[in-house]
């Protein structure tokens, strides 16, 4: 097509995050800890590794953490119910790092920030949400505006 941009002239584009790998001290203990916070779906498990499904993405747990606890370095985990996760993190003995409880350290020092699906531009395709049993999730007006402003959702 005459008006299509020459894709070879631009750098490759990052499309999304497939997985995040967390180093933990013990796989069984990590599965137990994260199982207290979330409804886990174990994708697979190998020697010193476990893979937890997040629909079309996953978290890899790798045995053998040696660095100090994270402070600023963290990842944001999108959830359907922030309040439930915060309560569960407190009950599981996570080190809470913010007044809201949305930032906490797991027992191995991984800094996790909890974010609400409704409040951010991150979006799952409807078939993925349905497959996860989350077809009821909706976006807030501000999150939808972010998507519309970027041309990622219809007006």
**CATH number of residue 27's parent domain:** 3.10.180.10
Give the per-residue pLDDT at 4.
60
Overall domain count for the chain: 1
| pLDDT tens, per residue, the chain with 155 residues | 556 667 778 899 888 899 999 999 999 999 999 999 999 999 999 999 999 999 899 999 999 999 999 999 999 999 999 999 999 999 999 999 999 999 999 999 999 999 999 999 999 999 999 999 999 999 999 999 999 999 998 88
Residue 61 lies in a domain: yes
Long-range contacts of 77-85 (CB under 8 A, 24+ apart): 77/112, 77/113, 77/114, 77/115, 78/115, 78/116, 78/117, 78/120, 78/122, 79/38, 79/114, 79/115, 79/116, 79/117, 80/116, 80/117, 80/134, 80/137, 82/114, 82/115, 82/116, 85/37, 85/38, 85/114
In angstroms, how far is CA 57 from the centroid of its own chain? 8
Residue 60 lies in a domain: yes
Residue 74 lies in a domain: yes
Give the per-residue pLDDT at 11.
94
The domain of 51 spans: 19-149
Residues whose CB falls within 8 Å of the CB of residue 41, separated by 6 or more in sequence, listed in order: 52, 53
Stated pTM of the model: 0.87
Which among 21, 61, 26 has a CA at the least distance from the CA of 44? 61
Residue 34 lies in a domain: yes
Give the per-residue pLDDT at 27.
97
Residue 47 lies in a domain: yes
């Amino acid at each position: 097509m005459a008006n299509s941009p020459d894709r070879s002239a631009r750098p490759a584009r990052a499309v999304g995050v497939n997985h995040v790998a967390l180093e933990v001290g013990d796989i069984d203990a990590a599965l137990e800890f994260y199982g207290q916070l979330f409804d886990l779906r174990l994708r697979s498990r190998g020697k010193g590794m476990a893979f937890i499904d997040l629909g079309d993405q996953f978290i890899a747990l790798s045995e053998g953490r040696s660095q100090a606890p994270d402070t600023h370095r963290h990842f944001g985990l999108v959830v359907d119910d922030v309040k439930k996760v915060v309560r569960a993190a407190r009950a599981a003995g996570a080190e809470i790092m913010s007044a809201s409880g949305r930032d906490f350290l797991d027992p191995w020092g991984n800094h996790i920030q909890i974010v609400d699906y409704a409040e951010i531009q991150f979006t799952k395709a409807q078939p993925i949400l349905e497959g996860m049993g989350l077809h009821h999730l909706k976006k807030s007006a501000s999150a939808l505006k972010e998507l519309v402003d970027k041309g990622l959702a219809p007006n």
